[in-house]
Amino acid sequence: MKRTYMLFGMTLLFSLFLLAVNAWGASYISFYSTRTGQSDIYIIDTNGKNLRNLTNHPADDYCTTWAPDGRSFAFMSNRDGNEEIYIKKFNVAQAHRLTNHPELDHAPAWSPDGNWIAFVSKRTGESHIYKIDINGENLQRLTNQGGSSSPTWSPDGQSIAFKSIGNDGHGIFVMDADGKHPRQIINPRDVRGSLFTPAWSPDGKQIACAVAIERGIGIYIMDTDGQNPRLMSPPRTFSYNPAWSPDGKWIAYDAYDAEIANPWENPNVGKHIFIVSVEGGEPQQITQHPSGLNGCPAWVPGSFFSVSPTVDTQTTLWGRLKQAERMTK
């Protein structure tokens, strides 16, 4: 009997250790994929394994942003007839609608303090950036100049960078979190191309963004004043939507098939998720499905791995323990 309890206890500790190693040793990226004919939200680890569908809804779901605690994510969906912002807890089937307007609401970005979601809407006829609290209240329009899109919060939550169409082209601007003091920080002339989809680095010192260059769109990293730009994606590809890893060491992005000269005119084009080290090197493709589009990567917060065990993991753990108990009898 003592031997049984001892082995049971050892099995319990070992199983918990394995769960901890699996949790803290992995990094996950969420993205949308049309691999089944509709667009759903998935997560996958950075080795291209452990794919999981998070939404599995007959409507089209796109473009996730994660709460800082990793327990919830916001996304865009047309499940109620037009594109709105929704919030879904990781292990809860139902999502609840955050915005409700006939015009398109998209590009959600969760604030570092967890209280706000910035997003883009054309509810006034022009594209503006708004923010709303996570309860769907206190809606505020933040921009005065139309043509604003792609909000990204500074790590301290005090500012929002975004793309705006100015006299010089698609530049990167920054404003206070309440919309005050907007100013251009990166001019298209700084990088010799139009800029899209900015992403603020975790240390607040750099911006990653897509830059339209000759015969392609590339992912660049640069200082927040546009200086010292570095190309991270292969030249002459069509790459978009950079996302920094929480430790600031990697960039995830999506890119169309390299051999496609003009992806928008090819209905069979593929698009995949890649990661690349900020130190440089060859990007790694982490989605491999032969058909469909995979886009809008977002790193899942490290705190995601410390959430309470799911029903599946609890069942698996209990099954292993019961099996070990039977083996010792």
- Backbone φ, ψ for residue 186 (5° rounding): -135, 120
The share of the chain scoring above pLDDT 90, in percent, equals 67
Least confident window among 70-84, 189-203, 239-253: 189-203
Single pTM value for the model:
0.83
pLDDT, residue 199, reads 98
The rounded distance, in Å, linking the Cα atoms of 21 and 313 is 14
Among candidate residues 196, 199, 187, the one with its CA nearest the CA of residue 239: 196
The rounded distance, in Å, linking the Cα atoms of 299 and 296 is 10
User: 3-state DSSP call for residue 135?
Assistant: coil
Mean pLDDT of 300-319: 49
The rounded distance, in Å, linking the Cα atoms of 101 and 108 is 15
pLDDT, residue 216, reads 87
pLDDT, residue 93, reads 86
Among candidate residues 83, 60, 65, the one with its CA nearest the CA of residue 75: 65
Mean pLDDT of 254-283: 83
Least confident window among 9-18, 77-86, 236-245: 9-18
Q: Residue 5: which residues within 8 A CB-CB, separation 6 or more? A: none
pLDDT, residue 260, reads 64
pLDDT digits (tens, 9 = 90+) for 71-95: 999 999 999 989 999 999 988 889 9
